Amino acid sequence: MLPLDPADVEENRQGRLSAAQRAALEASVRSFNIAGFLMLSVFWTFLVCSATLPNTHSAAQAVTIIVVLVGLFLALYFWLRRALQRRALVNIAKYSVANITGCLQRARRSQYGPMYYVSFGGETLGAHLDLIKPHKKELEERPHRVYYIAPLGRVLFIEPA
């Protein structure tokens, strides 16, 4: 969840992300998934080895080909990752906070993490479990104002309308 202090709430009500929220989003973009990277590297190395070893006549030639192809893969991976990071960071600078008023129409728990997919006033948004679960009955009965990051559809906070 993004930080939410009283100063952040006021900034969000004015339609902007606070500096702390923007920094948290940027940190999430910069974070590195080491497990995913290792799995992808092992798979790529296995694929290159299984294609190279039976088709070469010497071990030196096979090792050279494997090192070059794995090196190209790593270079491409980090170049692409950096390009996507830059693009995401530029987009974060453009994010604004929107709000919608209404009752909770539908809530579905994500099977992959602590998230709910909720519908308020025709918009489907993603909200952290802690924002929805304790107040679900109240959100269904009375209208609330939901503040969310417009392009992401990610709920920041909910307050009574």
> Is 90 exceeded by the pLDDT of residue 147?
yes
Which range marks the domain in which residue 112 is found?
Answer: 6-14+96-160
Sign of CA dihedral 120, 123, 124, 127: negative
Q: What is the pLDDT of residue 6?
A: 87
> Is 70 exceeded by the pLDDT of residue 1?
no
The last residue of a domain, from among 44, 68, 94: 94
CA atoms of 66 and 3, how far apart (whole Å)? 46
The last residue of a domain, from among 66, 94, 122: 94
CA atoms of 146 and 159, how far apart (whole Å)? 7
Sign of CA dihedral 70, 38, 110, 161: negative
What is the rounded average pLDDT of the residues 93-106? 90
Q: What is the pLDDT of residue 97?
A: 93
What is the rounded average pLDDT of the residues 81-89? 90
Total structural domains in the chain?
A: 2
What is the rounded average pLDDT of the residues 34-55? 86
> Is 90 exceeded by the pLDDT of residue 89?
no
pLDDT tens per residue across span 15-34: 999 999 888 888 888 887 78
DSSP state of 142: S
Q: What is the pLDDT of residue 80?
A: 92
Residue 19 falls inside a structural domain: no
Q: What is the pLDDT of residue 61?
A: 86
Tell me how long the chain is.
161
